[in-house]
Structure 1
Amino acid sequence: MRAQANTIRQPGLGAAATVYPILFAVSIVHLLNDSMQSAISALFPILEKSLQLSYTQIGFIAFAMNITASLLQPFIGIYADARPKPYILPFGVCFTLAGVVGLSIAPSFVYIVLAVICIGIGSAVFHPESSRVAYLAAGDRRGLAQSIFQVGGNIGSSLGPIMTALIFVPLGQFGVIWFSIAALAAIGIQFYVARWYSGQKVRPRSPVSKQTVERKSGLLSKQQIRLAMAILIALVFSKNVYISSITSFYTFYLIKDYGVSVEQAQMYLFAFLAAAAAGTFLGGPLADRFGRKNIIWLSILGTAPFSILLPYADLFWSGVLCVFGGLVLSSAFSIIVVYAHELLPGKVGLVSGLFFGLAFGLGGLGSALLGMLADVTSIAFIMKLCAYLPLIGLLTIFLPKDKALAGHR
């Protein structure tokens, strides 16, 4: 603990070490948290049949969870910037536990919505504060630290299709109750993280010095910072609405247009999400080496060839294109968060809450709108429409270069 307590950079001292035990701890909790969230979308094919839900209702379930997390996260981040509360971390998982139990026994659409709102509250507490923990434990390897933190979430999300095939198809909706074990494990790990986090309260609340803020303001004007933030938000929109189209509707697309079974469709979705997890892990280290802007550019825009071709491919090549699209696209988000941290030094909670909130909110809103559109058109139309979202990556050209970010390395 003594070594861990001295990891945060102090003005005038040398480079800070990276606290890997804490990074891996928050990554594991991220895995558990997002595996519980992925149980919701994994249940969609089961709920569609058992409760006779429309695509609009399915989209609204995703929307209800994500918009709850989206609206709450920035406020939690702002509050924590001023008054860090380490033990809010295990407390937040208690809401997730309540949501998991409620989801397993929900008898109707309304109760399902209430259960996923509880899960959304748990995520709203978890993401901004855990992202701050990853920032504090990062030392000089911020890209790597965010990738370690976020890859846990991607791995957890990728487990959803496996859960459908192995748990929900044979056991049905009540199979969700098994995830209460994951919630209890997450609560225990969060107490360990909170103890370390509370030991940092005597340190400055941000590892960015006043001199860094002054240097930054001299390099980038307020207008440039606002433009850069707007571009980053547009990129998050592109990424998360496209991913929501895959996670919420790709299985229905495969079932209806290619005639595959529910279990086979879930394996294709698992391949996409597993590739996304790998991309998340690779993105941070690559950005640390080759630059934030370069990898953001490659990640968002580089997905376009795969996404545009996917709706016109046969079953085999659809799977191949989906995997490569997930690998490339998911390398961006951890870098976007780090880039935004450097644009707004000293506001780690606000930035983390804003971008994680946007990721949830845009993904949920996208699911709701795409569900309504699918009811009046078709799933195939949705896949073709969303294929062009990665072209928004062209906006990356207007981001400031890495060397303009004061305090970069």
Structure 2
Amino acid sequence: MPSPTRLPHPPERSPKRSADPVAPASRPRRPIAALSVGHACVDVYQGAVSALVPFFVAERQYSYAAASGVVLAASLLSSVVQPLFGVLTDRQRMPWLLPLSTAVAGVGIALSGVSRSYPLTLVFVALAGVGVAAYHPESARVARIASRGSHTAMGWFSLGGNVGFALAPVLVTPVVAAGGLRATPVLVVPAAVGTVLTLLALRQGASDPAGARKAAHSAGPDDRRSFLQLTLAIVCRSIVFVVLGGFISLYARQRTGGGATAGAVALFVLYLGGAVGTLLGSRLAARWDRVRVVRWSYVATVFAVAGVVLVPGPALYPFVALTSAGLYIPFSLQVTLGQDYLPSRVGTASGVTLGLAVSVGGVASPLVGALADATSLQAALLPLIALPAVGWLLTRRLPEPPAPSGI
């Protein structure tokens, strides 16, 4: 009896490989979602400083130099202590830092408008900066474990911070416009929400000690030279973003002839464009490697910043949006690149890329403010055009590190 004819099996299709190390189905969405919203709540207080600057100028008659001193107070101490927190989180898990630092950041901004004393205002703003500094290294370490190395999941975590920045002028401007600077205690509300959300994320297992041990065990050799080059590029980006964040409200009023609303809209666009850029960056990194995306984003930012500084009238706003997107496309990618360049020191890498190199741009604010007092605000902003070009030069020969394993 003839045996039945057997149909050949169709060839097995190999699954399409993605540049994202973790398949979508395996991503722990709930802890990342809670961490992302908590990140938004704490970064409201970074954006709040820039949103408060026009009110300090109007209500207390601060000069450009004095106003930029407020920005410096928020960023300088934060820049110094942030790597220290990174080193501590490399040595010991400190998930309790997330709710505590969120509360400290909120209290600092809440008290910043209560006293008319300039030194006390600097102290309270600096306290908020310390809270933000303490939050980022540990939160980035926790998010890396919760995301299992996924660029897209880390993009969502970073997006939370961008949304917090974007919401800052929306929250601050109505409150302070209605009640004056003495109404700043109302601004403690996001900190209360963020504290609850970070506690929820930790209870959902975001800070998994077993995952942390596995990540440390799989760490490869550190590439300190590439990490240094990346850090210098982030510093260039930071100067552009922090200076624009501190002065874009005042500059938009001058260039458009508008009032407080015109300034608040410019600041909102600057921060909202960052949220779009962060998501776009993680998507682009799934198609091309991270270094290439970072490199070309700096090239595009040169032309965008030139438009912000040189184009008058309402046409300023599209260039603000393009600048923000260009500065934030590489944002979460630079965080994971830094972690992959220093795989044995993820907390330190996070403290530098997500903290020190980002906030150190505030050191340049007093120089820009002094130059604006001596010449004009437009003349003081002109040097910003060159900085993204320097960032491109620094990242031009960076290698793409291997994808993390064992997370």
Whether the TM-score (by the shorter chain) exceeds 0.5 is: yes
Give the structure 2 partner of residue 357 of structure 1.
355
Unaligned runs of 5+ in 1: 1-13
Distance 2:272 2:212 in 1: 37
Partner in structure 2 of residue 313 of structure 1: 311
User: For the structure 1 residues 140 and 256, does the alpha-carbon distance in structure 2 shift closer, same or farther, using more than 3 Å as the test?
Assistant: closer
Alignment of 1:317-328 (within 5 A): 317-328=315-326
Q: Deviations over 1:226-274 (max 9, x none)?
A: 3312221121112111112211112212223442212112112212221
Deviations 1:69-98 (A, max 9, x none): 211111111111111022222122231232
Say if 2:76 is the partner of 1:67.
yes
**Offset of 1:160 from its aligned partner?**
2.7
Deviation of the 1:122 alpha carbon: 0.9
Structure 1 residues 109 and 335, CA gap change in structure 2 (3 angstroms): same
Residues 304 and 388 of structure 1 are in contact (CA less than 8 Å); yes or no, is this contact kept in structure 2? Answer: yes
- Taking the aligned partners of 1:97 and 1:164, their CA distance within structure 2 comes to 12
Query: Which residue of structure 2 lines up, in the alignment, with residue 233 of structure 1?
Result: 231
Paired residue for 2:93, among 84, 99, 110? 84
1:291 CA displacement: 0.8
Aligned partner of 2:374 among 373, 376, 388 = 376
2:140 alignment partner AA:
S
Which of the two has higher C-alpha Rg? 2
Match of 1:283 in 2: 281
> Is 2:402 aligned against 1:405?
yes
1:341 and 1:129 map into 2 onto residues whose CA distance is 13
* Alignment partner, residue 196 of structure 2: 188
Q: In 2, distance between residues paired with 1:145 and 1:168?
A: 35
Count of residue pairs the alignment pairs up: 383
2:31 to 2, 11, 22: 22
Gaps of 5+ in 2: 1-21
CA distance in 2, matches of 1:164, 1:256: 21
The Cα of 1:173 is off from its aligned counterpart by 1.0
Distance 1:191 1:272 in 2: 30
Aligned residue for 2:159? 151
Structure 2 CA distance for aligned equivalents of residues 198 and 31 of structure 1: 17
Separation in 2, partners of 1:165, 1:186:
20
Cα deviation for residue 25 of structure 1 reads 0.8
Deviations 1:199-252 (A, max 9, x none): 622444352544x51xxx4xxxx7xx3331222112111211111221111221
Separation in 1, partners of 2:83, 2:204: 23
Computed over aligned residues only, the root mean square deviation of the Cα atoms, in angstroms, reads: 2.2
Deviation at 1:390, TM superposition (A): 1.0
Structure 1 CA distance, aligned partners of 2:372 and 2:84? Answer: 33
Q: Distance in 2 between matches of 1:407 and 1:132?
A: 14
2-side partners of 1:288 and 1:338: how far apart? 13
Matches within 5 A, 1:194-343: 194-197=202-205, 200-205=208-213, 207-210=215-218, 213=220, 217=221, 225-343=223-341
CA distance change for structure 1 residues 346 and 174 in 2, over 3 Å: closer, same or farther?
A: same
Relative to 1, partners in 2 of residues 1:235 and 1:198: Cα closer, same or farther, differing over 3 Å? closer
Superposition deviation, residue 304 in structure 1: 0.9
TM-score by length of 2: 0.88
The answer (yes or no) to whether the contact 1:302–1:329 under 8 Å persists in 2 is: no
Structure-1-length-normalised TM-score: 0.87
Report the Cα distance in structure 1 between the residues aligned to 2:404 and 2:266, rounded to whole angstroms. 42
